[in-house]
Amino acid sequence: MAESFDPTIKQDTPEGKEKLVRRILIAEDEHLIRDNYVDFFEAQGFIVDVVSDGQMLLDKLYNSTEKYDLVITDNNMPAVTGLEALKKIRGDERFNNLPIMMVSAEEGKVEDEVKALDLTAFMYKPSLMADMLKKAEELWEKVDSR
């Protein structure tokens, strides 16, 4: 049986003694979904910050002193959609290596636009949390291989 990913251990050290805690920023306007994401990712050892719309996502990302290792965003949110926020983030070179995962019930054009951008992933709602974690790990592997 394969070992599961431990976000609190830096994976590239032989002894795994150097600690690395990943920080995730989640943008989701539906509080029950947002709370489920927070509960799951915190239980996995991640530090999680949350916002409830796309404009708050941009404000938090641009103004925070924290460095985020992943953004998870819904698309249909007030003020600024997840796709609009994603395009603005991708247009800012400070965030070239920031993985972004969009989780949405929308099919078609939004999915295609997200997948066309670098270091992004698209998942349909509802998604299993374990699948979201696996997708996050794939994105982190891409960043680490650069």
Pairwise CA distance, residues 124 & 111, whole Å: 9
User: How far apart are the C-alpha atoms of 98 and 119, rounded to whole Å?
Assistant: 7
Tally the domains of the chain.
1
Q: Give the SS3 label for residue 105.
A: coil
- The answer to the question of residue 141 being in a domain is no
Q: Sign of the CA dihedral 103, 28, 81, 59?
A: negative
Residue 13 lies in a domain: no
Residue 11 counted as domain residue? no
- pTM: predicted TM-score of the whole model, two decimal places: 0.82
Is 15 within a domain? no
Domain holding 121: CATH number?
Answer: 3.40.50.2300
Q: Has residue 142 been placed in a domain? A: no
pLDDT tens digits for range 39-52: 999 999 999 999 99
Mean pLDDT estimate for the chain: 84
| Percentages of the chain per state (helix, strand, coil), in multiples of 5 | 40, 20, 40
Q: How many whole angstroms separate alpha carbon 94 and alpha carbon 62?
A: 9
Q: What is the pLDDT of residue 117?
A: 79
Domain of 125 in residue numbering reads as: 23-133
Say if 118 falls within a structural domain.
yes
Query: Is residue 116 a part of any domain in this protein?
Result: yes
Residue-wise pLDDT tens digits, 53-111: 999 999 999 998 889 999 999 999 888 999 999 999 999 999 989 999 999 887 777 88
The string of pLDDT tens digits covering residues 94-108 is 998 999 999 988 777
Assigned domain for 2 exists: no
How far apart, in whole angstroms, are the C-alpha atoms of residue 134 and residue 140?
10
